[in-house]
């Protein structure tokens, strides 16, 4: 099995910064798409940003220019750098991955999607 674990959440003041980390571990796999989602109380879960293994990025309009998704130097890790935080950014943040796992012949062609457990981000004075 594959497990995703988020870290780096916490309390920040408006205008402050936080960096979230996601680490994928477990069965042998290859990442295709890495993502970050968030869910505020009483709201639907929404895409914040994602990143393909080829380097393409996609951001929600609400975070463009403030948040940056990137690959980590360590294998199977990625980050969400959050700058100029606003109270509206308060939510539980989840990392997500589309990945390939090896089949019987060792070929990475089995497609899966996994979610982390979430980390709380609170932006308040």
Do residues 28 and 81 make contact, with C-beta atoms less than 8 angstroms apart?
no
Helices (H), the chain: none
Residue-wise pLDDT for 80-97, tens only, equals 999 999 999 999 999 999
pLDDT at 27: 83
Nearest to 76 by CA among 19, 36, 34, 119: 34
In this structure, which long-range contacts are made by residues 59-64, counting pairs with CB atoms below 8 Å and at least 24 apart in sequence? 62/88, 63/89
With 90 as the cut, is the pLDDT of residue 6 above it?
Answer: yes
With 90 as the cut, is the pLDDT of residue 12 above it?
Answer: yes
With 80 as the cut, is the pLDDT of residue 75 above it?
Answer: no
Mean pLDDT of the chain: 95
pLDDT band at 56 (very low <50, low <70, confident <90, very high): very high
The percent of residues in the chain predicted with pLDDT above 70, rounded, is 100
**Cα(86)–Cα(104) distance, rounded to whole angstroms?**
48
HSE (CB half, 13 Å, CA atoms) of 84? 7
Q: What residues are paired with 69 via a beta bridge? A: 80
pLDDT at 87: 97
More confident position, 120 or 102: 120
121, 7, 35, 79: CA torsion to nearest 10:
100
pLDDT at 1: 85
């Amino acid at each position: 099995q594959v497990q995703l674990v988020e870290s780096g959440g916490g309390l920040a003041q408006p205008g402050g910064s936080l960096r979230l980390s996601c680490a994928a571990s477990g069965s042998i796999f290859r990442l295709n798409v890495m993502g970050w989602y968030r869910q505020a109380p009483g709201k639907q879960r929404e895409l914040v940003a994602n990143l393909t293994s080829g380097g393409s990025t996609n951001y929600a309009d609400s975070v463009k220019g403030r948040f940056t998704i990137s690959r980590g130097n360590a294998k199977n890790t990625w980050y969400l750098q959050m700058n100029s935080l606003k109270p509206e950014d308060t939510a539980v943040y989840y990392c997500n991955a589309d990945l390939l796992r090896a089949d019987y012949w060792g070929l990475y062609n089995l497609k899966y999607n996994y979610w982390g457990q979430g980390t709380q981000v609170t932006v308040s004075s």
